[in-house]
């Protein structure tokens, strides 16, 4: 008998890396409840369910960018108002390279894992995939930031968004690709109207 997942002869799949024990939250829950649940379980994101089905993901960054950074009342705003939506799910049978590509193209660090009926069965992160891969692709990580001053006059650098650009993109094109994706996410608004600066790093 074997302990742990049996890997496909064609290479590791999402099932080899996914986490099956996850903490979730309902879309109708208050943002403050999401923040408390993240703290209690020491996690940085929560899959969001609506009527039992996955509809998005809320991260600690979402709480800062769409909540605290703009003075929102976290006891009144609902998780569904601040969560991230989009291509955030993958099935467990997919090769890890496909999951990596989806994360890089979508600018996310985690994906929900769903079954054939789109029921939530787990969660997988960029680092989870790296733990089962022989060769981890080197993507470019681009963070966009906003400079703010709190009520005590202390400056803060608030991260608005973190994008991953595919390893296949030439180095000279990483910044234009990230900027275009950031502007598209923000309704085609020029990035300088939303962020104060950005930083590129390899991951």
| Tens-digit pLDDT profile for residues 159-188 | 888 887 877 677 888 899 889 888 887 778
Q: Which residue has the tokens 């993507």?
A: 139
Take residue 178 and report the two structure tokens written for it.
């990230």
168 vs 101, more confident: 101
| The pLDDT of residue 197 is above 70 | yes
pLDDT on residue 90 = 93
| The pLDDT of residue 4 is above 90 | no
68 vs 111, more confident: 111
Looking at domain 14-132, which of 3.10.580.10, 3.40.50.2020, 2.40.50.100, 1.10.1060.10 is its CATH number? 3.10.580.10
Q: Which residue has the tokens 């997942």?
A: 5
Confidence of residue 26 (pLDDT cuts 50, 70, 90): very high
- Please, are residues 186 and 180 in contact by the beta-carbon 8 Å criterion? no
pTM for the whole structure: 0.65
- Please, are residues 29 and 78 in contact by the beta-carbon 8 Å criterion? yes
Average pLDDT, integer, range 119-134: 85
pLDDT on residue 114 = 94
């Amino acid at each position: 008998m074997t302990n742990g997942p049996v890997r496909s002869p064609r290479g590791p799949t999402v099932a080899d890396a996914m986490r099956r024990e996850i903490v979730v939250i309902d879309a109708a829950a208050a943002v403050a409840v999401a923040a408390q649940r993240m703290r209690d379980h020491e996690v940085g994101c929560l899959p969001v369910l609506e009527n039992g089905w996955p509809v998005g993901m809320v991260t600690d960054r979402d709480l800062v960018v769409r909540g605290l950074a703009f003075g929102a009342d976290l006891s009144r705003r609902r998780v569904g108002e601040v969560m991230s939506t989009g291509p955030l799910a993958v099935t467990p049978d997919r090769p890890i390279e496909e999951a990596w590509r989806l994360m890089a193209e979508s600018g996310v660090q985690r994906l929900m894992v769903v079954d054939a009926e789109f029921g939530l069965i787990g969660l997988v992160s960029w680092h989870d995939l790296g733990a089962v891969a022989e060769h981890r692709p080197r993507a470019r990580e681009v963070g966009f930031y906003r400079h703010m001053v709190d009520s005590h006059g202390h400056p803060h650098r608030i991260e608005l968004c973190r994008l991953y650009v595919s390893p296949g993109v030439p180095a000279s094109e990483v910044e234009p690709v990230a900027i275009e994706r950031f502007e598209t996410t923000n309704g085609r608004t020029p990035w300088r109207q939303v962020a104060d600066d950005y930083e590129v790093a390899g991951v």
